[in-house]
Amino acid sequence: MLNKILKKLFYTIKKTLSTILYLLYYKWVNNDRFILLYHSISQNKKDKAGLCIPLKVFKPQIEYLKKNYKIIPLSEFLQNKKGIAITFDDGYKDNYQAFQLLKKLNVPATIFISAEYVGKKVIYPSDKNNPNAWKRKHLNLNEIIKMSKSGLIEIGSHCLRDVKLTELSEEEALYQIMMSKRKIENMINKKVIYFSYPHGKFNKKIKNMVKIAGYKLACTTIYGNNKIIKDPYELKRVGIYSSDNSLFEFKKKLSGAYNFMNLIQKFRDLYG
């Protein structure tokens, strides 16, 4: 009970603080080099992590981006000083519906897939003890190939399965990183050079493995923009979640008004 109250209080403080920062400062500042992170484009009552965004919310977000920002493929992100890239983690089945909208608006994106989950319904390890767990549907091979051939969608790796790389042995972590690349390349008959760390978990050794495997960049879940890129294997992203269900909240996220979340993430990493 106390945990729920504290979560609600934190949520209220976060929303209020971001609104104040947005109206006083960030609304007037150009924040034009960042990567968006989406997961599932659906409405799902079993989603307890806020990963699902209904299509009716996603559509105006993309239309707003198209009108107000320069949207570029992830492959062009490092070379451009301005531009936003759109990414999806996990490779959920409903990403194909999102692709139909992106194709209609001619908007590029990158989808990071878990190679062994292709075409499957999976209960993720974090949900295994939940009797009402979300059984997650994933893109099938035909859908992945169609999107890859469209010229709009780049396919990247999110490992073989839903794992936390920092909790694996070095051998198993390297296997996840290298074998997922090989499997996806065989699926789409293209080089796979983009990686997203599952759960955002990485360290220096994991980053080095990603480099050795032949990836050219890697995306984290560290919150923020990428105005200055110090390390292409540690790209920040702006996560869009079910709580961002109004265009005003979405604009706040894009502006940088939630950049203080980066400090909170660092604090959590240090003190658990």
| DSSP code for 200 | G
Going by C-alpha positions, the residue among 89, 76, 74 that lies closest to residue 124 is 89
Which residue carries 């790209």 as its tokens?
A: 235
CATH for 32-271?
A: 3.20.20.370
| 69, two tokens | 């920002």
| DSSP code for 138 | B
pLDDT by position in tens, the chain (length 272): 667 787 778 878 888 999 998 898 888 888 889 999 999 999 998 998 899 999 999 999 999 999 999 999 999 999 999 999 999 999 999 999 999 999 999 999 999 999 999 999 999 998 888 888 999 999 999 999 999 999 999 999 999 999 999 999 999 999 999 999 999 999 999 999 999 999 999 999 999 999 999 999 999 999 999 988 999 999 999 999 999 999 999 999 999 998 888 777 766 665 55
- Quick one: angle between helices 141-149 and 170-188, nearest 10? 70
Q: Which pTM value belongs to this model?
A: 0.94
Half-sphere exposure of 59 (CA within 13 A, CB side): 8
Going by C-alpha positions, the residue among 95, 135, 133, 137 that lies closest to residue 112 is 95
Task: State the DSSP H helix or E strand holding residue 220, giving kind and residue range, or none if neither.
Answer: strand 217-223
- The number of residues in the chain equals 272
